[in-house]
Chains A and B, each alone.
Chain A
Amino acid sequence: DAGITQSPRHKVTETGTPVTLRCHQTENHRYMYWYRQDPGHGLRLIHYSYGVKDTDKGEVSDGYSVSRSKTEDFLLTLESATSSQTSVYFCAISESLGTANTEAFFGQGTRLTVV
C-alpha cells in the first residue's frame, strides 16, 4: 500500500471555525491532490500541488486553501467552515503526470462534519 496518511480521520467542528486537514506521504511523489466526495457527485478536485509551494485550484476550490512547504505534506484549510463543507475528504498522490505512471493512490479519507 502507498504510504499516505490523512489526519484527522474524523472531525466535528462548528460553523465559522477554521479547520486544517493534513496529508502526509512517504513515497516522495511529486503530485498531491485533495478531493471531496459527496453523494451524487462522486469525487471532485479541490486543489492540487505539483511541487513544493506549487499549487493550483481544482473544480471546487472556493472556501479552501492549501499549502505545501515540504514534499511529504499537503495541508487543506477550510478558512471558515460551513455546513456545505461537510464531506469526506480524500488526499491522493501521484508519481508523475501524463505518463505511464499517472495513477493516483488515495489516503483513507477524513470525514468532516460541520455543525
Chain B
Amino acid sequence: AQKVTQAQTEISVVEKEDVTLDCVYETRDTTYYLFWYKQPPSGELVFLIRRNSFDEQNEISGRYSWNFQKSTSSFNFTITASQVVDSAVYFCALSGSASGYALNFGKGTSLLVTP
C-alpha cells in the first residue's frame, strides 16, 4: 500500500520568513516518483516538481528547494523568504506501480503568508 502523510494541516508565517512543508511517504515499490503540487486560492493545481526514487539529489528553484531523503522516507519542501503570493494549499504526492502509477496525494498543507 502507498501512503503520503502531510502532518502539518495549516501553517501561518509572516512574509520573508522561511517555511518548510513536511512530507513523509510509505511504499513497497523500489521505483517510485514523488511530487509537489500547489493549489492557490483560485483552485487550479499547479505542478511544482517531480523526483525519482533513484535520484536523491536535492533541488533548488529560485526560492523553492526540496530535500529528498530515502532513509527517512521524506520529501520536504522549503520556501525561502516567503511572499504573500505563496499562500496556497500544497500537496505532496506519490506514484508507483502499487497504485498503477496514479498519483496518491497527501491531505495537503495550507500555507498562509501574511504581510
Shortest distance from the beta carbon of A109 to any chain B beta carbon, whole Å = 6
Shortest distance from the beta carbon of B68 to any chain A beta carbon, whole Å = 15
- Whether A90 is near chain B, meaning CB under 8 Å from some CB there, is yes
Kindly state the interface size class of chain B when it binds its partner: 20 to 34
CB-based contact B106/A102 at 8 Å: no
Given A42-B106, A42-B108, A43-B91: A102 and B44 within 8 A (CB)? Answer: no
**In the bound complex, what is the Cα–Cα distance between A98 and B50 (angstroms)?**
12
- Whether A19 is near chain B, meaning CB under 8 Å from some CB there, is no
CB-based contact A48/B100 at 8 Å: yes
B77-115 residues with Cβ-Cβ distance < 8 A to A are: 91, 95-97, 99-108
User: Chain A residues in contact with chain B, CB under 8 A?
Assistant: 31, 33, 35, 40-45, 48, 50, 56, 58, 88, 90, 92, 94, 97-98, 100, 102-106, 108-109
